[in-house]
Structure 1
Amino acid sequence: MAAVSTTDPRLRALAHPVRLRMLSLLWSAPLSAAALARELAISHALASQHLRRLDAAGLVELADVRARRGGRERRYRAVRGPWLTEQQEGQPLLAESLARNLLDRVAHRAPGTAGVTTDAELWVSPDAWAAARRRLQAIMTELHDAAQPPHAPGTVRVGATLMAFEMTDPPPAAED
Structure 2
Amino acid sequence: MAAVSTTDPRLRALAHPVRLRMLSLMWSAPLSAAALARELGISHALASQHLRRLDAAGLVELADVRPNRGGRERRYRSVRGPLLTDQREGQALLAEALARNLLDRVAERAPDTAGLTIDAELWVAPEQWAAARSRLHAIMTELHEAAQPPHAPGTVRVGATVLAFEMTDPPPPVED
Place the TM-score, normalised by the shorter chain, in its bin.
Answer: over 0.9
* Secondary structure of 2:5 counterpart: coil
Partner of 1:24: 24
Partner of 2:113: 113
- Structure 2 residue 103 is the aligned partner of structure 1 residue 103: yes
CA shift digits 1:3-43 (9 cap, x unpaired): 83333110110000000000000101000000000000000
Structure 2: which 5+ runs fail to align? none
- Structure 2 residue 157 is the aligned partner of structure 1 residue 162: no
Q: Which moved more, 1:77-86 or 1:126-135?
A: 77-86
Partner of 2:123: 123
> What is the CA RMSD across the aligned residues, in angstroms?
1.2
Q: Matches of residues 1-176 of structure 1 in structure 2 within 5 Å?
A: 4-176=4-176
TM-score, normalised to structure 1, is 0.95
Confirm or deny: 8 A CA contact 2:4 2:89 kept in the other structure: no
One-letter amino acid of the counterpart of residue 21, structure 1:
R
One-letter amino acid of the counterpart of residue 83, structure 2:
W
Displacement of 1:99 in angstroms is 0.2
One-letter amino acid of the counterpart of residue 81, structure 1:
G
Confirm or deny: 8 A CA contact 2:62 2:74 kept in the other structure: yes
Structure 1: which 5+ runs fail to align? none
TM-score, normalised to structure 2, is 0.95
Identity of aligned residues (%): 86
Displacement of 1:86 in angstroms is 3.3
CA shift digits 1:118-170 (9 cap, x unpaired): 00000000110010001000000000000000000000000000000000001
One-letter amino acid of the counterpart of residue 37, structure 1:
A
- 4+ residue segments displaced more than 4 Å: none
* Secondary structure of 1:5 counterpart: helix
In 1, the alpha carbon distance for the partners of 2:14 and 2:89 equals 13
CA shift digits 1:89-142 (9 cap, x unpaired): 211000000000000000000000000000000000011001000100000000
Alignment size in residue pairs: 174
* Secondary structure of 2:6 counterpart: coil
